[in-house]
Structures are given as structure tokens and as C-alpha cells.
Amino acid sequence: MAAAALLSPALFVVLLMLGAPLALLLRFSLDRYDPTELMIETLTGANYLRFFADPFYVGVLRTTLGVAVAATALCLLFGLPIAYRLARMTSRWKTACMLAIVLPLFVGSTVRMVGWLILFAHGGMIDGALRRLTGGGLELMYTPFAVISGIVSINLPFVILTLQSTIETIDPRLEEAAESLGAPPGRGFWRVVWPLTLPGTATAGILCFILAMNAYATPYLLGGPRFQMMAPLLYWEFSTNNNWPFAAALGLILMATTLILTACSSLLIPRRYRVA
């Protein structure tokens, strides 16, 4: 009872600051759009029916899911070896390596995307270098590759830091014991360390997936107008088309999809490895 009493104020604030806007968003999503009055108060599911009945909007959701899954897989693939090396590093360069990973977080995502624009643009560094070497360029801008690369560059530090903190809690003597029993380093990692990192890996993957699903600046700048994802589409409907009910429905669909997939991801971890 004492713990519940102490948590009550924080719970009330969370419900007020999170629950009230979501309830208002749900109410707006059930209104009807009118070009002159913007919103007409009613109770209709036309906005949701419009989304799921139109192949364009379903395709945008499918593209968003594909980009988020690809970015999450790449972040885990690149982040796990780096996190493991950092966790087991004992030299004086560990602080410098940690600083190099954390430093990009001090720069806004939009500023970093401008750097990718310079790198990927027509006549940019990559395209210009290839033209000088081979005589033919490489169009990278406004492609899924550019968008996924930008999202990976933003989310990778979060994944590395999450995995590194998880691996540091694993006793290195477990690997030494596996090696003393004849297991090669690679097999010892996959049979001993990897199962113990699954809860942290799931946390890092969920964090990366949520950030990728809701990415706005990266697909807007690197994907261009022809590469549509949910967040830029939502902003377009709200700010340009002034279709606030449909924008509210898009926001709830995006949030519900993210939450459902995040909840289902826990089923991928064997029960014996879950944190109680």
C-alpha cells in the first residue's frame, strides 16, 4: 500500500499527460473532414476505412514496416560486435571509444541528415568519386538505401549503448569456463554469452524499431516526395491538406501498429531468458 501511495502522483501525471491527448486524438479521428469547416463533429469510422481500403496508404504502412525491420536488423548486426568489444575492453582507450559513440547524439538528426545529403547527392562525394574513377555515377538519393542508412546512423548509438550495458553484466569467467571445457571463442559466445544477452538485445531492438517506425526527418530529406513513410505522410495530411481527422487516424494506426509489434516481439525470446 505504501508503494502504491508513492506511485499514485506519478501515475496520475502520466495518465493525464499521455492518456488525455490520446483520447482527444481518438475523438478527432472519428470526426468527418470538410474542406471549409475542417472538422465536423460526428462518430464515423470513415477515416480508418479510407486508410485500409486504399492500396496507397497500405503500401505506405508496408514500406514503413520494411524500413523499420531492415534498420533494426542492421543496427543489431553492426551494434552487437561493437558493444561486445566495448564491454570487454580494459584499455585506457575505452573512454575515448565511448565518447566517439555518444558524441553523434549531441548533434540533431536533421543536421546529420544534411551530412548524408552531401554524401549521397548527385555530384556529391560518392557520386563524384565514382564518376572520376569509372566514368559513371551512382544515384543514391531518394532511395530506400539512403533512408535505411540514415536511420541506422541515428539509431546505432542507442543500440550499442544498450547492448554494451547488458554484456557488461555478464561475468567474463563464464566465457573462460567455456573455453577451458574446449569450446572455441566463437562457439562459447553463441552458446553462453548470446543467450544471456537476449533480454538486452530485445530491448535494443524494440527501441530501434520504435524510433525507425516514427522517423520523420530522415525519410523526408533522404527519401524525397516519392518515398513515402507514415510520419511524413501524417504531417502532410495535417499541415498541407488540413485533414485533421484523417491525420489523427494515421497517428493512431501508426502507434497501434508499433505497440502491437513491440508486444509480439517478446514472444521471440525463450521464456527462460526473459527478465522477471
The 10s digit of each residue's pLDDT in 34-82 is 887 778 888 888 999 999 999 999 999 999 999 999 999 999 999 999 9
Instruction: Tell me the C-alpha distance between 230 and 219, whole Å.
Output: 9
What pLDDT score was predicted for residue 275?
45
Domains within the chain, CATH numbers bracketed: 45-269 (1.10.3720.10)
The string of pLDDT tens digits covering residues 92-133 is: 888 888 888 988 888 888 888 888 888 888 777 777 777 777
CB 259 within 8 Å of CB 266: no
Burial 229-263 (b: 16+ CB within 10 A, else e): bbbbbbebbbeeeebbbbbbbbbbbbbebbeebbe
The string of pLDDT tens digits covering residues 208-262 is: 999 999 999 899 888 888 888 999 999 998 888 888 899 999 999 999 998 888 8
DSSP 189: I
Instruction: Tell me the C-alpha distance between 178 and 174, whole Å.
Output: 6
Residues belonging to the chain = 276
What pLDDT score was predicted for residue 269?
61
Listed residue (221, 191, 12, 46) closest to 119, CA to CA: 221
Global pTM value: 0.85
List, in sequence order, every residue forming a beta bridge with 272; answer none if it has no partner. none
Q: What would the mean pLDDT of 151-167 be, rounded to a whole number?
A: 92
